[in-house]
């Protein structure tokens, strides 16, 4: 071997690719890993689809005077958002942390900020795929969406993604990997089944209702039900979800550890 032109006078200086290119490259890798992993696909697509079909036909979580498919779609949208933003991200980031991936990435031009930006972008891409697949299933089950409701759901979707993404990163960046796996799966089930997603908080006993309303899942569920299934807009739930998003981001900035040591 004669030359490896890493610093020879004729070569160009080592320099980073433009920031956007780095972030897009990382988002592509993350999305590809998510979408080619069977377990991740099950969490992102299959489980929300099952929730949609179950709530369409099983008399659970319905509201008086509202079509069952509308309440099912609202609950499914919240389930899909939580599964991808929270559960999938927590598990994948937890394993990346244990495997030293975060440590290595912090030494590359991508850096920690680029890693997080790429991860958020990848999550949004997976969300888009979820929305398309689940909307097609919902349409087949008799869903007739209103354009106004869909537009109103967009900012809720973004705030919910930030809130649950931050909680997912907090779990991934503070617990041991084995605990991340257990905690993220248990919390997912609790959020969906008991946290105001599958069942409207109005159906809970009065004592529990106040508590569930303060959960991010309860706030997300109520907000999506109001815009996708009709009903008065719960401004209090929006405040709760925004507070979870802000507090989650602060907590991640304060306590997230990039190494598992």
Partner 1 sequence: MVGDMNDHAPALEIRDLTRSFGSVRALDGAGLCARRGEVTALLGPNGAGKTTTISCATGLLKPDSGSVEVLGEDPWQAGADLRARVGVMIQDGGLASGATALQLLHYGASLYAYPLEADEVAEHLGITDFGGTLVRRLSGGQRQRLALALAIIGRPELVFLDEPTAGMDPGIRRTVRDLIRALARTGTAVVLTTHLMDDVEGLADQVVVISGGRTVAAGTVDEVIAAHRAPDATLTVTARARGVAPDAAEALSADLRATARLHGVDLELSTGGAADLESVLLDLIDEPDAGGLAAATARTREAR
The reply to whether 99 sits near partner 1 by the rule CB under 8 A is yes
Residues in 57-96 that interact with partner 1 by CB under 8 A = 92, 95-96
Contact window for partner 1 (CB under 8 A) among 97-105, 179-187, 208-216, 229-237: 97-105
- DSSP, collapsed to helix, strand or coil, labels residue 261 as coil
Closest approach, Cβ 185 to partner 1, in A, equals 18
Closest approach, Cβ 68 to partner 1, in A, equals 37
Give how far the C-alpha of residue 12 lies from the chain's centroid of Cα atoms, to the nearest Å: 41
What one-character-per-residue DSSP string does 74-122 give? HHHHHHHHHIIIIIIHHHHHHHHHHTTHHHHHTTSTTHHHHHHHHHHHH
Q: Using CB under 8 A, pick the residue from 53, 54, 106, 181 that binds partner 1.
A: 106
The reply to whether 259 sits near partner 1 by the rule CB under 8 A is yes
Instruction: Please choose, from the candidates 186, 157, 183, the residue with its C-alpha nearest in 3D space to the C-alpha of residue 170.
Output: 183
The reply to whether 181 sits near partner 1 by the rule CB under 8 A is no
Instruction: Please choose, from the candidates 228, 10, 245, 216, the residue with its C-alpha nearest in 3D space to the C-alpha of residue 134.
Output: 228
Closest approach, Cβ 177 to partner 1, in A, equals 12
Give how far the C-alpha of residue 253 lies from the chain's centroid of Cα atoms, to the nearest Å: 18
* Shorter beta-carbon distance to partner 1: residue 35 or 249: 35
* Shorter beta-carbon distance to partner 1: residue 88 or 130: 88
Q: Using CB under 8 A, pick the residue from 53, 67, 103, 145 that binds partner 1.
A: 103
Q: Specify burial of residue 113 (Cβ count, 10 A radius: 0-12, 13-18, 19+).
A: exposed
Which residue, chain included where needed, has tokens 């959020």?
A: 191
The reply to whether 17 sits near partner 1 by the rule CB under 8 A is yes
> 158 vs 154, 165, 194, CA distance in Å?
6, 10, 23
Site for partner 1 (CB under 8 A): how many residues?
A: 47
Computed on alpha carbons and rounded to an integer, the radius of gyration of the chain in Å comes to 20
Query: What distance in Å separates the CA atoms of residue 128 and residue 125, rounded to the nearest whole number?
Result: 5
CB 53 within 8 A of CB 137: yes
The DSSP secondary-structure symbol of 186 reads: H
* Shorter beta-carbon distance to partner 1: residue 202 or 259: 259
Residues in 18-37 that interact with partner 1 by CB under 8 A = 18-19, 21-22, 25-26, 28-29, 32-33, 36-37
Closest approach, Cβ 98 to partner 1, in A, equals 9
Pattern 130-169, binding to partner 1, x per CB under 8 A? ----------------------------------------
- Interface residues with partner 1 (CB under 8 A) are 1-19, 21-22, 25-26, 28-29, 32-33, 36-37, 92, 95-96, 99-101, 103-111, 114, 258-259
């Amino acid at each position: 071997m004669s030359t490896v032109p890493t610093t020879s006078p004729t070569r160009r200086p080592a320099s980073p690719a433009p920031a956007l290119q780095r972030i897009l490259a990382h988002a592509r890798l993350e999305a590809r890993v998510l979408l080619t992993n069977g377990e991740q696909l099950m969490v992102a697509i299959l489980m929300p689809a099952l929730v949609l079909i179950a709530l369409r036909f099983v008399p659970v979580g319905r509201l008086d005077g509202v079509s069952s498919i509308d309440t099912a779609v609202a609950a499914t949208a919240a389930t899909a958002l939580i599964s991808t933003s929270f559960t999938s991200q927590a598990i994948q980031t937890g394993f990346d942390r244990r495997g030293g991936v975060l440590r290595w990435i912090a030494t590359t031009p991508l850096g920690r900020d680029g890693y997080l930006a790429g991860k958020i972008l990848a999550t949004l891409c997976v969300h888009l795929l979820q929305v398309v697949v689940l909307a097609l299933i919902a349409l087949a089950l008799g869903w007739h969406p209103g354009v106004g409701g869909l537009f109103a759901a967009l900012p809720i979707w973004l705030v919910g993604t930030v809130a649950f993404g931050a909680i997912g990163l907090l779990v991934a960046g503070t617990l041991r990997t084995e605990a991340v796996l257990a905690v993220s799966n248990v919390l997912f089930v609790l959020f969906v089944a008991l946290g105001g997603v599958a069942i409207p908080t109005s159906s809970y006993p009065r004592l529990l209702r106040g508590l569930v309303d303060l959960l991010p899942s309860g706030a997300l569920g109520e907000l999506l039900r109001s815009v996708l299934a009709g009903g008065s807009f719960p401004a209090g739930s929006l405040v709760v979800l925004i507070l979870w998003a802000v507090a989650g981001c602060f907590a991640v900035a304060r306590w997230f550890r990039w190494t598992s040591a």
